[in-house]
Amino acid sequence: RFTRNMMFPIIDFPNEVIIKVHAASLNPIDLSMRSGYGATALNMKRDPLKLKTEETEFPLTLGRDVSGVVMECGLSVSYFKPGDEVWAAIPPWKQGTLSEFVVASGNEVSFKPKCLSHTEAAALPYVGLTAWSALNQVGGLNQSTCSGKRVLILGASGGVGTFAVQLLKAWGAHVTAVCSQDASSLVRKLGADEVIDYKSGNLEEQLKTLPLFDFILDNVGGSTEKWALDLLKKWSGATYVTLVTPFLINMDKLGVADGMLRTGVTVGSKTLKHLLKGVHYRWAFFMPSGPSLDEIAQLVDSGKIQPVIDEVFSFSEVPKAFLKLEGGHARGKTVINVISKQ
Residue 342: the pLDDT is 47
Contact indicator for 102, 23 with CB cutoff of 8 Å: no
Share of the chain above pLDDT 70, in %: 99
Mean pLDDT, the chain, integer = 94
User: Residue 44 above 50 pLDDT?
Assistant: yes
User: Residue 54 above 80 pLDDT?
Assistant: no
- pTM assigned to the model: 0.94
In this structure, the dihedral spanned by the alpha carbons of residues 213, 218, 224 and 227, taken in order and rounded to 10 degrees, is: 30
Average pLDDT of span 335-339: 96
Share of the chain above pLDDT 90, in %: 79
In one-letter notation, the amino acid at residue 300 is V
Q: Is the dihedral of CA 89, 239, 41, 158 positive or negative?
A: positive
User: Residue 18 above 70 pLDDT?
Assistant: yes
For the chain, list the domains and their CATH numbers. 16-125+288-337 (3.90.180.10), 139-283 (3.40.50.720)
Instruction: Tell me the per-residue pLDDT of 247-275, one tens digit each, with 9 for 90 and over.
Output: 888 888 888 889 889 999 899 999 999 99
User: Residue 341 above 70 pLDDT?
Assistant: no
Instruction: Tell me the per-residue pLDDT of 191-242, one tens digit each, with 9 for 90 and over.
Output: 999 999 988 889 999 999 999 999 999 999 888 999 999 999 999 999 999 9
Instruction: Tell me the per-residue pLDDT of 112-162, one tens digit each, with 9 for 90 and over.
Output: 999 999 999 999 999 999 999 999 999 999 999 999 999 999 999 999 999
The lowest-confidence range among 15-19, 42-46, 295-299 is: 42-46
Contact indicator for 1, 310 with CB cutoff of 8 Å: no
User: Residue 171 above 90 pLDDT?
Assistant: yes
More confident residue, 237 or 3: 237
User: Residue 299 above 60 pLDDT?
Assistant: yes
More confident residue, 293 or 255: 293
